[in-house]
Every structure is written in C-alpha cells, then in structure tokens.
Chains A and B, each alone.
Chain A
Amino acid sequence: MTVELDGVVKRFGAVTAVDGLDLRIGAGEVVALLGPNGAGKTSTVDMMLGLSAPDAGSVRVLGRAPREAVARGLVSAVMQTGGLLKDYTVAETVRLTAVLFGRSRRDVDAVLERAGVAEIAGRLVGKCSGGQQQRLRFAMALLPDPELLILDEPTTGMDVSGRRDFWEAIRSDARSGRTVIFATHYLDEADAYADRVVFVRRGRVVADGSAAQVKAMVSGRTVRAAWPGADEAALRALPGVDEVEVRGDTVTVRGKDSDEVARFLLTRTPARDLEIASHNLEEAFLALTADDAGTAGGPGADIGRGQGGALSAGGGVLISGDEREATR
C-alpha cells in the first residue's frame, strides 16, 4: 500500500477537521480528493506529508512514518499554500532542492524540462506568473523522483490554458507509474485525470469509487418543460426515465435518455419552454458533500434524493450507512 490512513482524526481546537478518515491507496493509482471548502482535504494531505500529526489513528506512507518517507524523497508535494522565495531564480530554487536531496545538476535540468520551466530557468521567482510558480513547485516535487506525488489544488488561480498545460505535464509524468493524489475544486480535472475519486465531507470519506463508476452514478439529465395538465403516467412509461415530478404547470423528468423525453414532449404533447440540464459530477458532488445534506427541505437534500437512486444503480460506489441516510 502506498498510503494507509486508519481512523485518522485531526482537531484544531473545537474544530474537528478530519474525523475518523480511512483511506487506502495502492501503487500507481491516480486519486482525486474532492470536497467543499473546509472538508479536511488539506489537513489530510498535511498528515500524509508529516507536516502535522494526527490526534488519533495512524498514517503510513509507503510503510513508513510520513516524515521519514519525505526525508527519503519517497513522497513529495505541490502544496496549496507553500511559499517560494522571490529572490531566487527558478533554476536556483530547484538547485537548492537538489542539494538537499543529494541530486545532481543533470537531475535539475531534467525536471526543469519536464515541468515546462526550462525556458524561464534564469528568471527570478518574484517575476514569474502564478502558473509558472506552480509549475516550479511541480519541478521541485519531481526532483526526488518520488513514489507518491501529492498535489493540493495545484491549478487554483491558473487560466484555462495554464491548467491544461499543467495537467499535460502531470499526465505525461503519471505514465511512469507514479502514484498521484490530488485535491481539487475543478471537477472536470477529477473527471479527466483521476482513475479514482474520493469525496470528503466534514473530515470523512463520503463516496469512493473509480472515475468510471462516479460518471455512471451521475449519468442522466433533467428535462424540464411547461405542460399544463401533464400526463405523468405517459412520461413514466418512456424508456430510461427515473423520476417524474409535476409542480403546477412545470414538469421535470430525470432520466438517462433525455433525447427521447424531449422528442416525446415536443412532438406528441403541447409542452413548451423545454430545457435540458445535465446531472454532472458537480451535482453529485453537491449532493454528497453539502453541509446541509440531510436537512429536510435543504437544497442538498433535494438533489440528494434524486441522486440517491442513481448511486445505488451505479453500483460499486461505497457509501457508509449514515451518509446514505443523510443524503436521502
């Protein structure tokens, strides 16, 4: 096992940032850690890196205590907050890291190249853009050639092309078989790059499945239209329809085949003002991780009801019993 977290608890005064988190990550997995602000992602990552110690439970990285794994260069990270010194150049920053890890100048040149900062090697860090600084952090993280690479919101603040370039670099690196764990708020990144997605809420794992499973669990769309006196039974009879809801003149249909529903509504009924919206990872995310999930009448609970069925249907997605209750 690359990472073993057993019943990990981290408290900050009255706040329980991580609340009995269990997680096992095997070699070569690319795992996305998703969760709202304050879910405990950074706190968890900090413990994996030995930057903080758990109040309870155990954290093992590659079978060692985290600090030891870090000192041996087995694990490295691009952190959410983690300063760089403005008056070093890009190359000097990496060279300093190399000196500390006992690596050669050749290694420095190699990672500068791979992180895409070789052209700006002589530039002062203070003069680099946010995206360039992030790629510099990535170069530093690559330097010890770690078994495990942890990225905490690595692309926050980057523009679209910066994000794409960054992930391109990560992706080509991950081909070498490195284990990668990344926390992000960009669900499309999780979608595109992770082969396992872990949802965290209030310091606990709420859902954990492969990217494909999560996609299956949230497949389907919502079709909404104005249709006074809607024929609910006819809609239910359509293929792939999961749920029909009529409220006043508005009918809302959730299902896998939105085209069929739309065609039916527009050609065989007087329905108008038709809208189609996708149930995406984002909705599942909101449903599973919303702080008010489970509160009757809250928006989270509302979506949760819809998603609850889909979750079971998706199969293979692990949800602990109490969370399942909470989202229904």
Chain B
Amino acid sequence: MTTITADERRGPGGGRGPGERRVPRWGGFSAGMLALELRRMARNRRTVVFTVIMPPVFFLLFGSNADYRSTRAGEGNLTAFVLVSMAVYGAMLACTAGGAMVSVERAVGWSRQLRLTPLTPAAYVAVKLVLAMVVGAVSVVATFVVGSFAGADMPVSAWVGCGLLAWVCALVFAAFGLFMGYLLPSENVMQVLGPVLAVLSFAGGLFVPVDSLGHVFATVARFTPAYGVGVLARAPLAHEGELWVAVLNVVAWTALFAAGAMWRFRKDTARV
C-alpha cells in the first residue's frame, strides 16, 4: 500500500489540499457554462431549424403576400400582425426546445454525470431556463429581421413592445418545456412536442384568428396556453382583445407548468 498523503501529491490542480477546496458560488451557475451550452445548442441543426429558420419561413409563407401589406391592422399593416404571431410561435418553439433539453440529458444519463460535479439541481434548471430564453430571443430577432425586409410595417414602439412581450411571455413555454422534459425522458422529445405546439398555436390564434373558427372554438381557445401570449404580444400593435384575460392566461399557465416542472424535478432529485 502506498502511503503518500494527500498533501504531498501534485495533481492537475497543483496539489490543493482538501482544506482549500471550495464549493463554487451560485451552485455552479456560471457564464462559462452558459457559453458552452449555447455553443452546443447552436451546433444542433435540428434546434437551429426549429427555432431560427422555421418561424421566418412560416411568416414568409403566411404573411408576406401583397394584400396583407396594404391592409391596415391596428397601428401597422396585416403583415406586421402576422409577423408578431409568427415571432410568438418561434419563441414558443425555442423556449420549449430549450426547456426540453433536460429530457435528452436525462435520457442519455448526462444529468447523472452532472451529479458528480458541484452543480446543484436548481442551478442546472436555472441554466436551462436562461438558455431557453436566450434561444427564444434569437428566434424573435431572426423573425423580426426577416419581417422588416418583407414588408412588415409598424411603429418603432410596436416593434420593440411586441418583440419584448413575445419573448418575455414565452417564459410560459420554457416552463412547459422543462415540465415535459422531466415528464418524458426521451431522446427526441421535440418530435412529440413539435406537433403539440403547432396545435396549441392554432388553438391560440397564432395561425388564424380564433374568431374566424366559430363561437365555441373561440371560447375554448381563450383557455389554451398560446392564446394569452399571442394577444399580449400583439397588443402594442393591435390594441385588441381582452388584456386581463390574456394576462390571467399567461400567469395561470406559467404557474401550472412551473409547478409541474417542480413536482417532477423534486421526484427526480429525491431518487438520489
């Protein structure tokens, strides 16, 4: 048996003794980790297509015809109206995908690997939420840039207001993504969630106005999670819809999804 004590060793850390070892601040939440994670997300082609390419393409398909450009909608044209809806759709996809990263990481056992580091589960979730919001922002910006070249017209205040609201309110979908990520440990959870989000967007009036689908549908639609975000994000442009219903919608769904995510998250870490 070798009997060299720890202090005599010179390892990669220059032989720091156990007494000098510190647990990192913020439970391991750091800019360095965010940067590496962002780089990894950007490398994932599917994520990029889903979040940065698809929303602008959808906008070009649905919102850029000449009639829309000349039709007024609120303070801008109909093209801008569609653009905001598509930006919300993009932010939704991006935030959900960001939150749902935990699903893949649990499925391949990366979360287990991370448990061998000082990273606390809460810091891990925080990293995922921040990532989801960053990707959401990129998605909104990408859609808006394309829109500005494709004939969307609205006042600067609406550009900024709509963009910020689409982004911030998409937090509800970051929570949704996290919840689903913990609920469905699968390597391709977005394949399941993609269609779900499409249905939610449709029901929430992002693709077509809910009123055009009949009274019953319109009533039900107001309770679906994408509806509130859509109404709020379009508010600076369109000034229509019942804002308090929309706010209630966003707050309630965020609370619900966050509670769900917390519940699964607790279960997950309790197993330790």
Chain A residues close to B by CB (< 8 Å)? 26-29, 49-53, 62, 67, 70-74, 76-77, 79, 81-88, 92, 95-97, 99-103, 107, 110-111, 114, 140-145, 147, 174-178, 195-196
B135 smallest CB distance to A (angstroms): 15
11 example contacts (A-B, Cβ-Cβ < 8 A) are as follows A49-B115, A49-B116, A51-B115, A70-B117, A73-B118, A74-B21, A83-B110, A101-B24, A101-B118, A144-B13, A145-B16
Please tell me if B212 contacts chain A, counting CB pairs below 8 Å. no
Contact assessment for A74 and B18 in the assembled complex, using a CB-CB cutoff below 8 Å? yes
Please tell me if B156 contacts chain A, counting CB pairs below 8 Å. no
Bound together, the chains give a CA A91 to CA B116 distance in angstroms of: 18
Contacts of A71 in B (CB 8 A): 23, 117-118
Contact assessment for A177 and B109 in the assembled complex, using a CB-CB cutoff below 8 Å? no
Report which of B8, B117, B272 forms a contact with A52, defined as CB distance below 8 A.
B272
Chain B 18-59 against A: per-residue CB contact (8 Å), 1 yes, 0 no?
100111100010101100110110011000000000000000
Contact assessment for A107 and B9 in the assembled complex, using a CB-CB cutoff below 8 Å? no
Contact assessment for A176 and B13 in the assembled complex, using a CB-CB cutoff below 8 Å? no
Chain B 98-128 against A: per-residue CB contact (8 Å), 1 yes, 0 no?
0000000101111011111111000000000
CB closest chain-B residue, reference A111: B12
Contact assessment for B113 and A83 in the assembled complex, using a CB-CB cutoff below 8 Å? yes
CB closest chain-B residue, reference A97: B117
Contacts of A53 in B (CB 8 A): 272
Report which of A92, A101, A176 forms a contact with B36, defined as CB distance below 8 A.
A92
Main SS of the interface on chain B? Answer: loop
Chain B 189-232 against A: per-residue CB contact (8 Å), 1 yes, 0 no?
00000000000000000000000000000000000000000000
Report which of B3, B36, B105 forms a contact with A99, defined as CB distance below 8 A.
B36
Contact assessment for B2 and A28 in the assembled complex, using a CB-CB cutoff below 8 Å? yes
From residue 217 to 261 of chain B, which have CB atoms closer than 8 A to chain A?
Answer: none
Report which of A50, A70, A72 forms a contact with B18, defined as CB distance below 8 A.
A72
Contact assessment for B6 and A100 in the assembled complex, using a CB-CB cutoff below 8 Å? no
Would A195 and B43 be within 8 Å (CB), given that A99-B33, A99-B36 are in contact?
A: no
The contact size tier of chain B is 35 or more
Contacts of B36 in A (CB 8 A): 88, 92, 95-96, 99
Bound together, the chains give a CA A323 to CA B216 distance in angstroms of: 73
Contacts of A110 in B (CB 8 A): 12
Instruction: Please name the 6 residue pairs, one residue from A and one from B, whose CB atoms are nearest each other, closest first.
Output: A83-B109, A177-B4, A145-B11, A83-B108, A99-B32, A145-B13
Contacts of B22 in A (CB 8 A): 72, 102
Contact assessment for A92 and B272 in the assembled complex, using a CB-CB cutoff below 8 Å? no
Bound together, the chains give a CA A84 to CA B112 distance in angstroms of: 10
Bound together, the chains give a CA A52 to CA B112 distance in angstroms of: 11
Contacts of A52 in B (CB 8 A): 271-272
Contact assessment for A143 and B12 in the assembled complex, using a CB-CB cutoff below 8 Å? yes
Would A85 and B21 be within 8 Å (CB), given that A51-B112, A107-B12, A145-B11 are in contact?
A: no
Bound together, the chains give a CA A85 to CA B21 distance in angstroms of: 27
Contact assessment for B12 and A114 in the assembled complex, using a CB-CB cutoff below 8 Å? yes
CB closest chain-A residue, reference B27: A71
Contact assessment for B18 and A62 in the assembled complex, using a CB-CB cutoff below 8 Å? yes
Contacts of A111 in B (CB 8 A): 12
CB closest chain-A residue, reference B119: A100
